[in-house]
Amino acid sequence: MRALNPKYATRLQAVNKSQLSSSGSPSETSSALLRRLLGIRNQFPERIQEIDQQVRDAFERQVAILVLDMVGFSRLTVQHGIIHYLAMINQMEEAARPAVYGNGGEVIKQEADNLYAVYEDPAHALESALDIFRAFDAVNNVVPPDRDIFGSIGICDGRSLIIDDKDLFGSEVNFACKLGEDLAGKSEILLTSLLTKSCHRIDMFACLLRLK
């Protein structure tokens, strides 16, 4: 086995020592902290429980997750081109963001034709979903038919990791994506039956809901 150059061996030793500490610098971003903690977790299996708890303490929140997916990407892109659809995505975001913020939500990210938002109160997530569809209806009343915006929405509730208010991870996030992207139809909101127990005013909502 080829010997490691002493210069690089010293540098590697210093890096490893710096990684042993799970307390970061005050200027460290959340994403950098997460990467460092996961690196320590991979390198030191005996510290898994300790590191997992630090990750949960730093990033885990109990939230309702809303995932919005635009309907018609493939068809509209073939018919009108990708630039036309990108403009529609921009209009979708301009219509949806006020509906999220107006109901106490946070937009975590907008990725392709999907929008991800979180809420402290599950009922606010549902109200937000309805407001999003109302905003789409308002847009569709004034644009040509080839620019009509439609979406499908999935909502779940649970403990998830929120990173820098720019990304989110967790089984409930995956479930919300499944509901919003794969199972919900045009202008449809899907939510878990467990979440309906948290939405005390769900009987007030006159909309198309399917419980999963």
CATH 3.30.70.1230 domain position(s) in the chain? 61-211
Tokens of 189: 């909101």
**What is the pLDDT averaged over residues 129-134?**
96
Alpha helices in 108-154 (DSSP H): 122-140
Tokens of 61: 């929140």
Residue-level pLDDT at 210: 46
Mean pLDDT of the chain: 84
Residue-level pLDDT at 17: 44
Q: What is the pTM of this model?
A: 0.80
Residue-level pLDDT at 167: 94
**What is the pLDDT averaged over residues 17-37?**
71
Under the banding of pLDDT at 50, 70 and 90, the label for residue 27 is low
Q: Which CATH class is domain 61-211?
A: alpha beta
What Cα–Cα distance (Å) separates residue 173 from each residue in 64, 77, 138, 162, 190? Answer: 9, 27, 29, 10, 13
pLDDT tens, residue by residue, 58-114 = 999 999 999 999 998 888 888 889 999 999 999 999 999 999 999 999 999 999 999
